[in-house]
């Protein structure tokens, strides 16, 4: 192997190591978020909303919690139907809630849900694992008059 290739291989190796280290820290992936949202939509359709919402909102239920990934379900008016990180939010209308940058992310999410069957949305939110405000990407799917969402921290 020539010396000119060694720096490239070193960079590739370092990149792989860094990626493995990040995964080891417990952050869920975009693919995991999409899969969990799809699983949530399927469960709501098959087992019913009330049963599935209760399971999603139970922090001890490993089916609906993976690393820093959990589901949230909203009615299209912004009222929380299920919340995997904070059951105290259930029944509250969060349409006016803003992130640290002043972005009305719940209102934006409801507007996106009314216009699209599924979508990604970026905003900033407190990571339940680190307790720090971090950039977050939320994947959502509209289901009847609700939107089912699961997000990842970047």
pTM, two decimal places: 0.82
3, part of any domain: no
Q: State yes or no: pLDDT of 68 exceeds 50.
A: yes
Give the residue carrying structure tokens 């209760």. 54
Q: 109 near 74, Cβ under 8 Å?
A: yes
Residue 147 sits in a domain of what CATH number?
3.30.450.20
3-state SS class at 41: helix
What is d(CA 123, CA 136) in angstroms, rounded to the nearest whole number? 5
Helical packing angle, 49-57 and 30-47, nearest 10°: 140
pLDDT band at 23 (very low <50, low <70, confident <90, very high): very low
- Over the stretch 30-62, which tens digit does the pLDDT of each residue have? 999 999 999 999 999 999 999 999 999 999 999
Question: Can you give the pLDDT at residue 128?
Answer: 80
140, part of any domain: yes
**Residues spanned by the domain of 59:** 28-153
- Give residues with Cβ within 8 angstroms of 45, minimum separation 6: 143
DSSP conformational letter for 64: G
Q: How many domains are contained in the chain?
A: 1
5, part of any domain: no
What is d(CA 2, CA 122) in angstroms, rounded to the nearest whole number? 44
Phi (first) and psi of residue 91, to 5 degrees: 90, -10
């Amino acid at each position: 192997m020539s010396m000119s290739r060694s720096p490239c291989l070193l960079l590739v190796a370092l990149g792989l190591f860094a990626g493995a280290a990040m995964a080891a820290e417990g952050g869920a992936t975009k693919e995991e978020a999409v899969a969990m949202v799809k699983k949530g939509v399927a469960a709501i359709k098959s087992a019913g909303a009330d049963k599935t919402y209760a399971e999603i909102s139970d922090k001890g239920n490993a089916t609906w919690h993976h690393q820093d990934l959990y589901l949230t379900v909203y009615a299209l008016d912004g009222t929380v139907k299920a919340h995997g990180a904070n059951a105290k939010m259930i029944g509250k209308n969060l349409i006016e809630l803003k992130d640290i940058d002043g972005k009305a992310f719940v209102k934006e999410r409801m507007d996106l849900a009314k216009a699209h069957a599924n979508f990604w949305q970026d905003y900033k939110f407190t990571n339940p694992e680190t307790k720090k405000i971090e950039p977050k990407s939320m994947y959502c799917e509209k289901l009847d008059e609700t939107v089912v969402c699961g997000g990842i921290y970047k």
